[in-house]
Structure 1
Amino acid sequence: MALDLSKVGARERLKVQREPHWQRLRAGCFLGFRPSKQGGKGTWIARIYDEDSGKYQVKSLGDLGGLAGNQMFAVAKREAEKLADLVEAGGEVRTKIETVEDACRDYAQNRPEAEQRFKRYVYDDPIAKVKLSKLRRRHVSEWRERMVALPALVSRRKQGEPIHRKRAPSTVNRDMVVLRAALGKVLSPGAPNTEAAWQEGLKAIPNASKRRTLYLDRSQRRKLVEKTSPEAKPFLRALCLLPLRPGALAALTAGDFDKRTAELTIGKDKTGKPRRIQLPPETSKLLAAQLKNKLPSAPLFMRANGKAWDRNSWKAPIAEAVAASGLPAGATAYTLRHSTITDLVSAGLPLLTIAQISGTSAEMIERHYGHLTSDAALKALGELAL
């Protein structure tokens, strides 16, 4: 039975959830209602399909709090249909940024990692509904206290009890930085030492980042690859050749590598922005071998079951190879990224170049690897091949 949002009683019986309850008004035009957790009047949302972009445009219509319950639907319906007419005529729905949640959603549009953090720590928190014009230092400080009190999930195993630990200072800083960036995009810093100084509640914890010290040299990485199972060996070897995050490497598809030009497009990474890098012959040869009999959408590094690697599937073969090689027990997939970056820095490759290849900032490279010195001549990435 189709949902009828025009009935006050029907809206009051709706389940409280993040995703709005939608009613179709006409083709490509939907009106949504999200009940309030605090027992308020709820929020109305319009969702319009844009044929030009092939995506939906969404706009919050607010809670329509000044209207009687039996009048809200008619007003919300009229606003949604106006927006549909605008989009169908080639116009664009511009979201009005009024609350902390609005600012975060606007900031996260092309930043998937920020969106994931906001989903975990902001959207369901009381700070989300605070008007930007009324945001004060206490709001942000209280949010920070709630976020810090949450345990960090260490294990995401589908079976067994999840494993948690106390949130590390570096983790707290990473969770704060995206909120600070989202608010800083739409708000000016408040006067220091006043309640208007919202930014003071988001000051980073000093000296929170711990330098990664576990390093595997090239002979150790070669031994690790040799002891790896045939299924995981191509993926692990690629981790030793490219200073990419394991998740970014696992997310690559066959269509991301152009063997004619030896160019690799990295789309899914912490930066949220695709980037292209030129590969040396040894690495290009490895990736070209993975393209055999694969459609462009298939995982570039595929497991035996046809699926892409992920953190739950690569842990076991790496741990087994580490044990079989007699290497330090703390070695992980991320150790290989750190080791490759260390070699590049030690070889004298410019920090900006390393940052571009690895998908991070020159500042982060300097912070974690600036202590390294080398008199070696400039080496190309290909010279680090195993």
Structure 2
Amino acid sequence: MAIRLDKVSDREKLKPRNAPYWQRLDRGCMLGFRKLTAQSTGTWMARYSDAESGERPKKSLGEFGELLPNDRYSAAKKAAEAWFEHKGRGGTSETITVKAACEAYVAHVRSEKGERQAADLSARLTRWVLSSKLAALPLSKLTEAKVKAWRAALAAAPVVVNPYAASEQQESRARAPSSVNRDMSALRALLNHALDARFVTSDAAWRVALRSIKRADGRRTLYLDREQRRRLVEAAPSDVAPLLRALALVPLRPGALGALTVASLDSRLGVLTVGHDKAGQDRRIKLPEATADFFRAQARNKLPAAPLFARADGKPWSKDGWKGPIKAAAAAAGLPPETVAYTLRHSAITDLVTGGLDLLTVAQLAGTSVAMIERHYGHLRADHAAQALERLAL
């Protein structure tokens, strides 16, 4: 006799037992209900028969005790069908949480890109994902609404402007769209990795919810001329001054410069190999002789694995380390308070573009795309175009 689980009255007539009662939903797909005592709410489960492997994995769906008895069957059936679809697409039978997916992704990045990038990713995920309600959530229960709620909380989180000041003197500002994009990209990347690993079989929960904010990286407007950059370097502490001078000499991202080791510099040829960067693949930059001499001086008497630019304690520089000293140096040099490490990169790129260097070469030196250089710095070529046209006049 076929078992019917959709009616409350029929379920109440079932005798308590350890083995579940099963109802067939579709070929190879069974919905189960188990009552251990006459007074218990009962537990729902699903069983899937894999025709190729012959395996019959099971999944506990829960009691659905928060619902009215008449609504529990529909909820259990919906949960079972979602799991059957997941299994049919090749998904895992294990319950993988967002936290577990984080750990798997960090391990993947560590094996593919090294400890430094894994540590940076881990810190970002720990701050924004593992501390949120999403961490304990199974990937199978991730919804677009929950991801959107996480994104809204991220966007609303304030940014401390002066983290090195005393707590009562700290100021905060609203998070910039570009910051939201950067922090959001970590969650999007780990979920895409989970999709590739078949921990989940659809990206519907985050495909739209984690879409980047368009035109978030606005054009940087603060430019320091050579004299201002010189004053900034002179006002900086002795350990951060070489880092600032290097940023003024080569248009690298501050993080990429801070990640350089002595082995990154070929002292004989004056060639710098940049690896830790958004650009992905390592790139080699031939330095002019004066710049090469400056870099050689930073490498002198250091082991190959040592940071090329190090803090006073010998540790490599990071954004949390240079923020305070640069802010203090800018104030001492009489420069705008919004001066940051990236200001030097922007100023160096600006000088290269206005100096007439072609945009492709500028992009290669900066480790970015020609499209980005064109979008943010192309307007600087207007004067050159006007001068060129003027020379055509008869």
Aligned identity (percent) is 51
Aligned counterpart for 1:175 among listed residues 172, 179, 183: 183
Q: Are the equivalent residues in 2 in contact too, given 1:170–1:209 (CA < 8 A)?
A: yes
- Matched ranges for 1:177-192 at <5 A: 177-184=185-192, 187=195
Instruction: Confirm whether residue 370 of structure 1 aligns to residue 378 of structure 2.
Output: yes
Larger Rg: 2
Cα distance in 2, alignment partners of residues 316 and 143 from structure 1: 30
Is 1:342 aligned to residue 350 of structure 2? Answer: yes
Question: Structure 1: 5+ residue runs without aligned partners?
Answer: 1-63, 67-93, 189-194, 378-386
Is contact 1:100–1:129 with CA below 8 Å preserved after alignment?
yes
Equivalent of residue 255 in structure 1, options 249, 263, 266 = 263
1:210-229 matched pairs, under 5 angstroms = 210-228=218-236
Q: Deviations over 1:38-78 (max 9, x none)?
A: xxxxxxxxxxxxxxxxxxxxxxxxxx997xxxxxxxxxxxx
Tell me how far 1:294 sits from its aligned partner: 1.6
Question: 1-side partners of 2:311 and 2:135: how far apart?
Answer: 40
Distance in 2, matches of 1:137 and 1:198, equals: 6
Flag the 1:293–1:105 CA change in 2: closer, same or farther, 3 A.
Answer: same
1:15 is matched with which residue?
Answer: none
Pairing partner for 2:274 from 266, 275, 285: 266
Q: Answer yes or no: is the 8 Å Cα contact 1:135–1:196 preserved in 2.
A: no
Alignment pair present for 1:333 and 2:361: no
Cα distance between partner residues in 1 of 2:162 and 2:173? 10
2:240 is equivalent to residue 240 of structure 1: no
| Separation in 1, partners of 2:146, 2:96 | 16
Instruction: Write the letter of the residue equivalent to 2:150.
Output: W
Could you say what the CA RMSD is over the residues aligned between the two structures, in angstroms? 3.9
1:143 partnered with 2:137: no
Partner of 1:298: 306
Amino acid at match of 1:242: V
Aligned residues: 281
Opposite residue 293 of structure 1, the aligned amino acid is N
1:157 counterpart residue number = 164
> Which letter maps to 2:187?
L
Counterpart CA distance in 1 for 2:315 and 2:225 is 30
| Partner in structure 1 of residue 41 of structure 2 | none
Letter paired with 1:277:
I
5 Å matches for 1:58-207?
Answer: 98-108=96-106, 109=109, 110=113, 111-112=117-118, 113-157=120-164, 160=167, 163-184=171-192, 187=195, 196=204, 198-207=206-215
TM-fit CA distance, 1:315: 4.8
The structural deviation recorded for 1:222 is 3.4
**Shift, 1:264, TM fit:** 2.0
Matched to 1:125, the amino acid is: S
The whole-number CA distance in structure 2 between the counterparts of 1:271 and 1:367 is: 17
Q: Normalised by the size of structure 2, how large is the TM-score?
A: 0.58
State the 1:259 CA deviation. 0.5
- Which deviates the most, 151-160 or 132-141? 151-160
Correspondence for 1:209 among 192, 196, 217 = 217
SS at match of 2:299: coil
1:335 Cα deviation from its structure 2 partner: 1.0
- Ranges in structure 2 where 5+ consecutive residues have no aligned partner: 1-57, 61-91, 197-202, 386-394
1:153 & 1:164 partners in 2: Cα distance? Answer: 4
Q: Tell me the alpha carbon deviations over residues 234-279 of structure 1, each in whole angstroms, 9 at most, x when there is no partner.
A: 3221111011233332332222212012222334445676544332
Could you list the per-position Cα deviations for residues 69-117 of structure 1 after superposition, in whole angstroms to 9, with x for gaps in the alignment? xxxxxxxxxxxxxxxxxxxxxxxxx9x8955445544544135444432
- Contact 1:169–1:209 (CA<8 Å) still a contact in 2? yes
3-state DSSP class of the match of 1:198? coil
Measure the CA separation in 2 of the matches of 1:116 and 1:270. 17
Q: Secondary structure at the match of 2:285?
A: strand
Alpha-carbon contact 1:348-1:374 (below 8 Å) kept:
no
